[in-house]
Chain A
Amino acid sequence: MTAIDARWFADKGTAASWTHALLVQPGLEDAEVAAEVEDWGTCLLACLLTVERLAFCEMVLDGRAASPREIELLLALDGEPTPATRGLRELHRLRAEAGPHVGRACAEAALTCLATADAHVRSRIPIDVLPMRTPEGFYPSLRVAATLEHLRKAVGLGPFQWDWWANLS
C-alpha cells in the first residue's frame, strides 16, 4: 500500500478526475466512433484534440494547470516532454504527412498515440476513473464524486466547481 497526499488528491486529483470524465472521455469516444464509421479525417482531429486535453490533465496533476482552452494550453506546454506532449508532436507529424485524404493507417497511428497518452494519465490518477457518460458508469461516478467532496471538506477545501468544467465540454 502506498500513502497518497490527501490534500493533493482532494485538490489536483479531483480536478484531474473531473477533467478526464468531462473533457477526455467524450474525446476518446469521438475518436473511436469516427474510426468505426471510417471517417479518418475526423478521427485524426479528434485524437489531436483529446491528447491536448490529456496534456491539460497532466498539468492539473502537476499543479501547473491554467486553462484547458486549446490556444492557451499549447502556450503553456513548454516544460519537459511528457507522454502527452510527445503524443502531440507525433500527431503534428502525422497530420503534416497525412495528405488530402487521411487514410486508415494514419488514423490508427493517431489512435495509438491517444491510447498511450491516456494510459499514462490514467496511471497517474490514484483512483479508477469511471466511464461517466455510460449507463453503467454514471451513477457509480456520482458516488465517487460525492466521496471526493467529503474528502475535500475533510482537508479544508471548498466544494469543487464541477459546473465550470461541465460547461467546457
Chain B
Amino acid sequence: MKALVCTDGIRAALKPVGLGPEEVIEVLGSCLEGDEVHLVGSLAAGLGNTGSDVDLHVFVDEDVAGVVPMLFFAGRTRLDVVHYRTGAPAAALAGVPVRSTGLFGGRCALGAVPSMTDMKRLSRWATALAMYEGTRPILDEDETARVSAALVRLALDVAVRAAALATVMTARNAPLAGLAWSRAAETAVEVLVRAQGEIFVGDKWLAAKARRGGLSPEVLAEARRVGSAAEHARFTARLGLPIAEPATLVRVRRNEAPEFTFGDSTFQLAGDHLIPRFELPSESLGEALGTLGADALSEALVHHAAELVPDPAAVDGRLS
C-alpha cells in the first residue's frame, strides 16, 4: 500500500491554527480511514483565523448514519469530522440549476436552488482542499462553476427575502425595522462578493470576503447605514442589483397545520403556538398585508403558519 502524502494546500490552510496535517491525523486516527479526506470550511476557503475549527469531510463507500459531526480536540483547536457517502455530492448536485446568466461579472443561476443546508454543504465542497496528494477534487471544474452560480442565486434569494421581511416590519412599525433594512443591504453586498468568486457561505465573513475581493470599504459602510425601504432601494440600485420593490419578488404561502375549533373560534397549531385560522387572498405579499394586516401576517410568519419564499420566475425575470 502506498504511503499517503499530505498536500501543500492543506499545510498552508492549517497554519492559522498552528497545526500540521500530521497532528490532525494523529488525533483522529481511524476516523480518517480512506483516501477521500477533505478540509472544508473557513480554513479551506482561506478565511479562517486562530480560533477556526478544523472541519473535515470524509467520503466512504458504506452507509453512514445521517450527518453526524464528531468533535475532537488538538490542544484547544476543535476538529470536526463528518462522514458522507461517496455519492453524496452527486446527489446534492442533482438539484442545482444548470442555466445561469451574467451578474456582476460572474454567473447567477436561473430557477430555484436547493435548500440552504444543501447549498451550504455544496459551498464547503466547492472550496474544499484534499488532505492527500492524488485525491480527486469533490467537484470538478464544471460542477464548481454550476455550484458557484447557484450560490450567487442563493445570496440573491436571501437578499430578496430579507428585503421583503423588512417591508413587513416597516408596515407594522417594528422597532428593529432599521436594523432589518441594514442587514438586507448587507445581504445585497453578499450577492456582489459571491458573484466575484467569494462563494464560501458564512455570514460573519462578509467583511473579510469583501476586503479580499477588493470591494471598497465604503460600500459596506453604506450598507450598514441603510435604515429604511427608500435607502435600501437607492443602495441596491447604485449597486446594480435588480431587486427594487422586493414585495413583488416573493410569494406568501400558508402552511398546512392541524386545526382546533372551540365554539366559533378556529385555531391552527403552529409549533408550540395556537394562532387564529386565517386565509390568504393570494400569494401576493401586498395583498396579504392588505387583507390580514401587518401584525397578523407577522404572527403567521414568525410561527411558520405561513412562509415567504422568493418567486423564482419573478427573480429570473429581473435577472434577464
Fill in one digit per residue for B186-227: 1 if any A CB lies within 8 Å of its CB, else 0: 000000000000000001111110010000111011001101
Given A98-B221, A101-B217, are A30 and B304 neighbors across the interface (CB < 8 Å)? no
Asked if A7 lies at the interface with its beta carbon under 8 angstroms from chain B, I say no
Asked if A78 lies at the interface with its beta carbon under 8 angstroms from chain B, I say yes
Interface residues in A, total, Cβ within 8 A: 45
Asked if B148 lies at the interface with its beta carbon under 8 angstroms from chain A, I say no
Q: Which of A130-169 contact B (CB under 8 A)?
A: 133-135, 138, 163, 166-167
Contacts of B204 in A (CB 8 A): 30, 34, 42, 45-46, 49
Q: Which of A50-71 contact B (CB under 8 A)?
A: 63, 66-67, 70-71
Asked if B174 lies at the interface with its beta carbon under 8 angstroms from chain A, I say yes
How far does the alpha carbon of A102 sit from the alpha carbon of B271 in the complex, in Å? 40
How far does the alpha carbon of A155 sit from the alpha carbon of B153 in the complex, in Å? 46
Contacts of B104 in A (CB 8 A): none
Judge whether A98 and B224 touch: CB under 8 Å: yes
Given A85-B175, A166-B69, are A92 and B221 neighbors across the interface (CB < 8 Å)? no
Minimum CB distance partner of B224 in chain A: A95
How far does the alpha carbon of A102 sit from the alpha carbon of B206 in the complex, in Å? 13
Q: Which of A39, A70, A74, A135 has the most CB of B within 10 A?
A: A74
Contacts of B221 in A (CB 8 A): 98-100
Judge whether B298 and A134 touch: CB under 8 Å: no
Contacts of A133 in B (CB 8 A): 71, 78
Among A33, A91, A99, point to the contact of B50 (Cβ < 8 A): A33
How big is chain B's contact interface, by range?
35 or more
How many whole Å from B159's CB to the nearest CB in chain A?
A: 11
Contacts of A88 in B (CB 8 A): 176, 179
Among B68, B174, B178, point to the contact of A75 (Cβ < 8 A): B174
Contacts of B180 in A (CB 8 A): 71, 74-75
Contacts of A63 in B (CB 8 A): 272
Judge whether A89 and B207 touch: CB under 8 Å: no
Contacts of A33 in B (CB 8 A): 49-52
Stretch at the interface among B29-37, B138-146, B165-173, B281-289: B165-173
Among A44, A67, A100, point to the contact of B302 (Cβ < 8 A): A67
Judge whether B205 and A72 touch: CB under 8 Å: no
How far does the alpha carbon of A134 sit from the alpha carbon of B227 in the complex, in Å? 38
Among B165, B207, B216, B224, point to the contact of A71 (Cβ < 8 A): B165
How far does the alpha carbon of A12 sit from the alpha carbon of B168 in the complex, in Å? 28
Judge whether B218 and A100 touch: CB under 8 Å: yes
How far does the alpha carbon of A67 sit from the alpha carbon of B300 in the complex, in Å? 12
Asked if B253 lies at the interface with its beta carbon under 8 angstroms from chain A, I say no
How far does the alpha carbon of A66 sit from the alpha carbon of B304 in the complex, in Å? 8
Judge whether B304 and A67 touch: CB under 8 Å: yes
Given A89-B175, A96-B227, A133-B78, are A75 and B51 neighbors across the interface (CB < 8 Å)? no
Contacts of A99 in B (CB 8 A): 221
Minimum CB distance partner of B223 in chain A: A95
Judge whether A70 and B183 touch: CB under 8 Å: yes
Contacts of A3 in B (CB 8 A): none
Judge whether B224 and A66 touch: CB under 8 Å: no
How many whole Å from B138's CB to the nearest CB in chain A?
A: 20
Asked if A128 lies at the interface with its beta carbon under 8 angstroms from chain B, I say no
How far does the alpha carbon of A133 sit from the alpha carbon of B55 in the complex, in Å? 14
Judge whether B225 and A96 touch: CB under 8 Å: yes
Fill in one digit per residue for A16-58: 1 if any B CB lies within 8 Å of its CB, else 0: 0000000000000110111011010110111001000000000
What 4 A-B pairs come out closest when comparing CB atoms? A33-B51, A41-B207, A100-B217, A95-B224
Q: Enumerate 14 A-B pairs (CB-CB under 8 Å) in ascending A order.
A: A30-B51, A33-B51, A39-B49, A42-B205, A46-B204, A74-B165, A75-B301, A77-B174, A92-B182, A92-B227, A96-B182, A100-B220, A163-B68, A166-B69
Given contacts A77-B174, A96-B225, 4 further A-B contacts (CB under 8 A): A36-B51, A67-B304, A70-B183, A135-B75
Measured CB to CB, the residues of A under 8 A from B are: 29-30, 32-34, 36-37, 39, 41-42, 44-46, 49, 63, 66-67, 70-72, 74-78, 81, 85, 88-89, 91-92, 95-96, 98-102, 133-135, 138, 163, 166-167
Measured CB to CB, the residues of B under 8 A from A are: 49-52, 66-69, 71, 73, 75-76, 78, 117, 161-162, 165, 168-169, 172, 174-176, 178-180, 182-183, 203-208, 211, 216-218, 220-221, 224-225, 227, 271-273, 298, 301-304
